[in-house]
Structure 1
């Protein structure tokens, strides 16, 4: 057997071993569940904003973590969320290392970095050192301001904002096309379960895509007018939907969609091929 064939054989064997790893499977499923909790809470907080019942609280990850911290055993729940998101980062790393398609591996590597950062911020908040409990709006403006100080920073901010907006649009379209079906164990799902997954997956995915699309648009605007204060985090982006001609009702629809996306993540934790 040639050296190349030997390498391929070993890679396939490693991939089979990785696919059969119960530890990695549970890491991925726990990660989807933790992600679901955060999106569900952000959606609920945004609904409160729409109905004027959320004064002083952020409708973003920081607000969601603060909400968890106020519950009985809140500290334990925060640690569980942080560990779950760390598990998601580890699972994405395994996808990046053992994936079969270059594009998929690169995307998984990017997601690994993202979830590692989110997990660190949640665990830091659980440990009492702030971390993920800060305002996403302030963080977005600070990062944008620092980026604009770099050579060609204005163009960098615009490019990143455009990328976020395009990603949001693509995610919304893919949700509408129900491309997530290819990742699900459809044969193990009842008809009612499929219906629930499609309602939450389509509505939630489109709402999530709209939030990313709007946030990316604000970043592009910040670069265009050379004003980092124009950049918006999740909280201000959601609140901007209430300033449209249809009033707070668009925010209600988007907020409900984010809560549904949280439920969809729970379904992914149960039925996704991991």
Structure 2
């Protein structure tokens, strides 16, 4: 058992994994900046792709150079997934293990999604969420499961907001990045937490109304903001917050602890 743990630790500390994970941070940063750009277009009634991960990936996949960049992103997300998987076996705290396990799944999903758009088989996040919700609610107890998923997403959103307010994200960094990056992290985590909270609420509403179309992911969350009172302002502020998260992710290329 100790030999296996030592092997995992060697993988965790390898230079190649370090470089790959930083590529993943850069990929996450670029995607969030693109999502913010698409959200601003929606706020000002300009046509464009959905302001979510699938919309950002579809934007990059429009030409050959973008597809090459997506392939690099796939490698980066796989490296991040491998890094988080290694932390599951190396980290002692149970909560840290659970978080690393969840992030492993998230990064694998992001890598698969990017690869799907390279292969021209990508689907919108909204349709994926809607189809998943519809499939689950066909089964006995499915509505309860969708509601529980929504509550879990809301919980993750609250965690992100607290992480931003209390600057808990600084422990992800190997050195203090300075006041400017700290504030982008605060704003970015807060905005992402609010967005996730709205996504979770839409899942709960979908379960309550037995209407799978309500659960439409980040695209649906931002559309909800757009149709609220002062929606244009709210959506613009959310876009700036997501852009801040993108900038913080790019800063992790230099300052991130791997």
Give the whole-Å Cα distance in 1 for the aligned partners of 2:37 and 2:48: 15
Give the whole-Å Cα distance in 1 for the aligned partners of 2:134 and 2:257: 41
The more displaced of 262-271 and 119-128 is: 119-128
2:42 to 33, 49, 58: 49
Residue of structure 2 equivalent to 1:3: none
Residue of structure 1 equivalent to 2:24: 31
Q: CA deviation at 1:183?
A: 2.1
Q: CA deviation at 1:232?
A: 2.0
Give the whole-Å Cα distance in 2 for the aligned partners of 1:125 and 1:12: 36
Do structure 1's residue 114 and structure 2's residue 106 form an aligned pair? yes
Do structure 1's residue 223 and structure 2's residue 215 form an aligned pair? no
Do structure 1's residue 198 and structure 2's residue 182 form an aligned pair? yes
1:104 to 89, 96, 102: 96
Q: CA deviation at 1:20?
A: 2.8
Give the whole-Å Cα distance in 2 for the aligned partners of 1:100 and 1:14: 16
Q: How many residues are aligned here? A: 258
1:178 to 145, 167, 180: 167
Deviations 1:96-115 (A, max 9, x none): 12222222112212221221
Whose Rg is larger?
A: 1
Deviations 1:78-129 (A, max 9, x none): 111122111111111111122222221122122212211221121121123x
Give the whole-Å Cα distance in 2 for the aligned partners of 1:121 and 1:237: 20
Give the whole-Å Cα distance in 2 for the aligned partners of 1:124 and 1:235: 19
Secondary structure at the aligned position of 2:178 is classed as helix
Is the 1:83–1:123 contact (alpha carbons within 8 Å) kept by the matching residues of 2? Answer: no
Deviations 1:28-57 (A, max 9, x none): 21111111111111011101111122x141
Q: Which runs of 5+ in 2 are unaligned?
A: none
Residue of structure 1 equivalent to 2:234: 250
Residue of structure 2 equivalent to 1:69: 61
Give the whole-Å Cα distance in 1 for the aligned partners of 2:134 and 2:31: 27
Secondary structure at the aligned position of 2:23 is classed as helix
Secondary structure at the aligned position of 1:257 is classed as helix
2:148 to 159, 168, 171: 159
Aligned ranges for residues 258-273 of structure 1 at < 5 Å? Answer: 258-273=242-257
- TM-score (ref. length: structure 1): 0.88
Deviations 1:130-158 (A, max 9, x none): 13xx2211111111000111221010000
Is the 1:27–1:91 contact (alpha carbons within 8 Å) kept by the matching residues of 2? Answer: no
- TM-score (ref. length: structure 2): 0.93
Give the whole-Å Cα distance in 1 for the aligned partners of 2:80 and 2:153: 21
Dislocated runs of 4+, deviation >3 Å: 10-16
Residue of structure 2 equivalent to 1:4: none
Give the whole-Å Cα distance in 2 for the aligned partners of 1:228 and 1:13: 46
Q: CA deviation at 1:70?
A: 3.2
Deviations 1:143-190 (A, max 9, x none): 10001112210100000001101110121111111001122122xx5x
Residue of structure 2 equivalent to 1:40: 33
Secondary structure at the aligned position of 2:140 is classed as coil
Give the whole-Å Cα distance in 2 for the aligned partners of 1:221 and 1:16: 43
